[in-house]
Amino acid sequence: MSLLNNLRCVTVDVTGTLMAYKGQLGDYYCMAAKAAGHPCPDYKRVHEGFKLAYKDMAKKYPCFGYAAKMPNIVWWKTCVRDSFVRAGYEYDEETFEKIFRRIYASFGSSAPYTVFPDSQPFLRWLRGKGITVGIVSNAEYRYQDVILPALGINEGSEWDFGVFSGLEGVEKPNPKIYEIALERAGNIAPQEALHIGDSMRKDYEPAKSIGMHALLLDRFKTPDAVEWRKAGAVVLPDLLAVQQWLTSEKSAC
């Protein structure tokens, strides 16, 4: 008997699992700066500045400012401004507003993302088997309301419920986000659920810690996958391989 026969719910991570970023962060910052009449900022400096700014904001105002009741656009405006400052670029308020609005709009659309070709078929296959599908992501509300639908990953046809950190006030790797998912799925038992993601720390370990099944995707052949396998994780290259694994007797082991 395969694991599929025992499952009532499958939860799925978004970035790196269902979709990936297109191009570089600098592409979008460059386009925004040029549109405001300014030269393209240095890609590497902007990328490093963003990483530091994002880490700082996530620490000060986790879950996109949920507890502080900070509006999403204010959270991102603070982060983007700090990214530029750390990269060595400071603009007057009017110029920055133009640049920021363009960046915010870009990342609130489907433009910077690409869906893996196996994502939609896999989610529909699961739902066709009568399995409840949930999205579990450290993401803000626009993923649920705008970005995923724009990419053809829709509530009602590809997934049944979503648990997004910016809407819940809890984020991975906190196991509570997976407990919320089980509740949303109809208070099902952890052993009747599987989580699929691409991070040992944020996806695999917290899901397993509450008794769920879990597996990891290695779409980009990361060196970390060697350690994941040594730690006992099932690691597969894509969702087509997951589908085959779920229907095999190996998955029941």
In 3-state terms, the chain is what percent helix, strand and coil (to 5)? 55, 15, 35
Q: How far apart are CA 176 and CA 155, in angstroms?
A: 22
Q: Enumerate residues 6+ apart whose C-beta is below 8 A from 142.
A: 72, 107, 108
pLDDT exceeds 70 at position 176: yes
Provide the 3-class DSSP secondary structure of residue 141.
Answer: helix
Tokens representing 201 are: 């720390």
Residue with tokens 């648990």: 163
Share of the chain above pLDDT 90, in %: 97
Share of the chain above pLDDT 70, in %: 99
pLDDT exceeds 90 at position 67: yes
User: What confidence category does residue 233 fall into, taking pLDDT thresholds of 50, 70 and 90?
Assistant: very high
User: What confidence category does residue 253 fall into, taking pLDDT thresholds of 50, 70 and 90?
Assistant: low
The predicted structure's pLDDT at residue 251? 67
How far from chain centre, in Å, is Cα 28?
19
pLDDT (mean) for 65-73: 97
Q: How far apart are CA 199 and CA 85, in angstroms?
A: 30
pLDDT (mean) for 5-13: 97
Region of residue 232 (phi > 0: left; psi between -120 and 50: alpha; otherwise: beta): left
The predicted structure's pLDDT at residue 136? 98
The predicted structure's pLDDT at residue 1? 75
List, in sequence order, every residue forming a beta bridge with 214; answer none if it has no partner: 195
User: What confidence category does residue 45 fall into, taking pLDDT thresholds of 50, 70 and 90?
Assistant: very high
Supply the DSSP string of 122-182, one letter for each residue.
HHHHHHHTT-EEEEEES--HHIIIIIHHHTT--BTTTBSEEEEHHHHS--TT-THHHHHHH
Among 137, 80, 134, CA closest to 107:
80
Q: Enumerate residues 6+ apart whose C-beta is below 8 A from 229.
A: 235
Over the stretch 237-251, which tens digit does the pLDDT of each residue have?
A: 999 999 999 999 776
By DSSP bridging, strand 161-164 and strand 132-137 are parallel
pLDDT (mean) for 139-153: 96
pLDDT exceeds 60 at position 56: yes
Contact between 15 and 151 (Cβ < 8 Å): no
Contact between 157 and 128 (Cβ < 8 Å): no
Calculate the alpha carbon distances from 107 to 103, 148, 154, 171 in Å: 6, 12, 18, 20
The pTM of this model reads 0.95
pLDDT (mean) for 45-73: 97
Tokens representing 210 are: 């509450």
Tokens representing 196 are: 């699929």
The predicted structure's pLDDT at residue 214? 98
Residue with tokens 């996958």: 225
